[in-house]
Structure 1
């Protein structure tokens, strides 16, 4: 039979091996090994530098927005052109309506009186007669002055004529005057005073033996209209047949 291996009895234990205890060093502990990582944690304090924004992305976004706005404006301006109905093309100035002109009508004087600027003691005694004949609608009126030695009233007066009272301020456009005499100077003044010096002169013309028109440009507003000779005609006597005022009621 084969040989059996030799077994140690159970009550026999192996002899312990003698291991000396570790030696304890009494110096300072060795320093820890240096870290191999070179990364540092980002600082979050108030003094830490901030990371700059990406300016390239901001520029691209701004450029894209500009292009979008430009396309939108072009699309809006392209609608309703000159060739489309209802478009916003240029306006034809020839079709623009002119402002309405004021209506000019014949105005009726409410009264009339003789006026003169003569030196004291040298008043003309003829001009106060037949004054109503110059506003009766007939050209055959017979208002007249005295006869003088020269066209300057003998140096006794600066002017003689009639003052029409329109009853209220009116806008005077023109005054038509009928005189059978020729030459001299017929002057027209308008205002709110009965004094010739305070009235505004709107024009003057020489008498032509018929009808003449003195036009106010621009129109003048006033209650009184003065028509008088500041220089006598060639006959050296002033005469008026009719005075008619045209304009608009104030």
Structure 2
């Protein structure tokens, strides 16, 4: 990857648990040689390792294991490779406090705090060339949508979320808006909303004025082609479907 090039690689596209041959949530965003991972759920680490060197930073939107379980695998790889050469090196990790507790429960030795340089995802931060801005969005656990902006490039990612007016700000004129599209049909009126349909993802992408929409976090067994058509009925820009190892030039 040359200087000035930007791309997003899909590591995993499933919600809850991975379908055969797939993985749960995970994306690798590369820009000007800097590599940041957005979530790393079940099965996503092996795909990450097939796409070159270890990342320069990690962002975890929330502590559900389909978004963070394989951060433990990344930590082990970091410990036995990078830290074997540079013992004090820690990998920047932007996450909620609950994420660190989950990682500690999986593997307390070496403790994740010795592997990762942990930052509160609720605070704005500089992540390599990106300015990270987070938005607290409705979900079963504290979840932050993240907006990563560098000169000439903005990528926004919802994590898991129900409908929220903040989605319009999160995805405002983003070059790529990565959106939760878990539900096949909306729940009954009046129930709390913690996840979205593909049609709702399209509606919020249109409200945000995003340039491209990438649907993800599909419930296992979802008809993804049908989900894309539902989103296209609401959003006039390009609608893409997350598929493992899909690479998008940005």
TM-score (normalizing by structure 1): 0.22
Q: Which has the larger share of helix?
A: 2
Higher relative contact order (CA 8 A, sep 6+): 1
Structure with the bigger percentage of strand: 1
Normalised to the residue count of structure 2, the TM-score between the two structures is 0.22
